Structure 1
Amino acid sequence: MKKDELDTLFEQNRTRFDVHDTPQGHQKRFLTKLQAQAEGHKEALKEKRRSTKWWKPLSIAATVAVLLAIGFLFQSTEAKAQDLASVSPEMQRTQSFFTATINKELKTLKSLESPEAKTLVEDALAQIDILEREYEGLKKDLVESGNDKRVIYAMITNFQNRIDLLQNVINTIEEIKTLKANKNETTI
């Protein structure tokens, strides 16, 4: 149906539609009910907001916790990867050489352990632990300094100090054993 046809239909049937007059005060009652319903919706929205207020701080705290965890994991992974071997292939070979030499000297030292040399071995191992902790600090410094040559030199020096310490203790233990053997030969 077109608009003109609808208009004519309503005009022709107007008397059928307007049978009753609206009661007195109908508009006022209708507006009062409408306003009460709107206020009820406002209260419901406020209640909903109050019940979900704790979600916002909780979600912020969870986000911060996740970011801190990711940052910590990234930092610890990065710190582990930044040792002397991470600088260059030559430094990787240097680190491998020093590590192999230190392990060999430690094995030799432990094989020479005896009641007479026990104190020397324990002291040497304590000094090695100190040097290893210093090396861990140097690894962090290497990350912070961006592969500064002074830090690299300090790391190499640390390796050399560990090797020198182990060799000196091994030589001292062997000298003690030699002196003891010579003493035993002369007393017989």
Structure 2
Amino acid sequence: MKEKDNITNLFDRLQDDFDTETPELGHEQRFLKKLQKQQNQETTEINKPIVLFTWWKQIAAACIILLSLGIFIGSNFNTSVEETQITFSPEVEKSQIHFASLIEKELEKVKAAEDEDTKEIVQDVLQQLKRLEVAYDELKDELIEYGEDKRILQAMVKNFQLRIQLLENVLIQIEEIKIFKNEDTII
């Protein structure tokens, strides 16, 4: 009820301020013409395509994309070439060749000794060797990245020693299995 009183009071107060004049004849027609003219302009603006890129801007954008792609590919190519050109000192290469040949000989012995009784042991040692090779490759990458650091070189040598020791232990286990198998067949 109070709201109606407030609204009524508002209208009573503003009664003299309202525009009470009547528009001239033809006002509605003029208003409709202006409205229709404005709508026609809006539809032509909507139908007109918005040109953000002109042909020369499109060519410039394509050139920039191709140039940046070329730089990206070129930089990746150069780093891979640099990494393959890095050589180690003669001592590192000699020790690497020496250890690799020892590991290869021991691995051939293990594979030659593989039979039904030792198959699981041989497969297990091959998996362990793969893990050690992955670790060695990581050490090699660190050596390329940081240079010939003594700690990295020692870790690489230790990796080779672990692989050789692992193969020697497996050969001992295989021999023990064969001895045990021969004792069983004798008895």
Does TM, scored on the shorter chain, surpass 0.5?
yes
In the TM superposition, residue 68 of structure 1 has moved relative to its aligned partner by 2.4
Separation (CA, whole Å) in 2 of partners of 1:91 and 1:164: 20
Separation (CA, whole Å) in 2 of partners of 1:55 and 1:139: 45
In the TM superposition, residue 76 of structure 1 has moved relative to its aligned partner by 2.9
Equivalence for 1:61:
65
Q: What are the within-5 Å matches in structure 2 for residues 167-182 of structure 1?
A: 167-182=168-183
In the TM superposition, residue 81 of structure 1 has moved relative to its aligned partner by 4.9
Equivalence for 1:93:
94
In the TM superposition, residue 147 of structure 1 has moved relative to its aligned partner by 1.6
In the TM superposition, residue 111 of structure 1 has moved relative to its aligned partner by 0.6
Residue 162 of structure 1 aligns to a residue whose secondary structure is helix
Equivalence for 2:55:
51
Separation (CA, whole Å) in 2 of partners of 1:77 and 1:169: 39
Deviations 1:136-176 (A, max 9, x none): 11111112212211111111111111111111111111111
Unaligned 5+ residue runs, structure 1?
1-46
Deviations 1:89-136 (A, max 9, x none): 111111110111111111111111111101100100000000011111
With over 3 angstroms needed to count, the CA separation of the structure-2 counterparts of 1:51 and 1:76, relative to structure 1, is: same
1:138·1:151 contact (CA, 8 Å) conserved in 2? yes
In the TM superposition, residue 54 of structure 1 has moved relative to its aligned partner by 2.1
Equivalence for 1:103:
104
CA-based RMSD of the aligned residues comes to: 1.9
- How many residues get paired? 136
Separation (CA, whole Å) in 1 of partners of 2:81 and 2:107: 28
Q: Does 1:184 align with 2:185?
A: yes
Q: What are the within-5 Å matches in structure 2 for residues 130-141 of structure 1?
A: 130-141=131-142
With over 3 angstroms needed to count, the CA separation of the structure-2 counterparts of 1:115 and 1:147, relative to structure 1, is: same
Separation (CA, whole Å) in 2 of partners of 1:54 and 1:154: 55
In the TM superposition, residue 62 of structure 1 has moved relative to its aligned partner by 2.1
Q: TM-score, normalised by structure 1?
A: 0.66
Equivalence for 2:121:
120
For 1:129, the aligned partner's letter is K
Separation (CA, whole Å) in 2 of partners of 1:69 and 1:98: 37
Separation (CA, whole Å) in 1 of partners of 2:85 and 2:115: 38
* Aligned-residue identity in percent: 35
With over 3 angstroms needed to count, the CA separation of the structure-2 counterparts of 1:177 and 1:77, relative to structure 1, is: farther
Equivalence for 1:43:
none
Equivalence for 2:154:
153
Deviates more, 1:53-62 or 1:164-173: 53-62
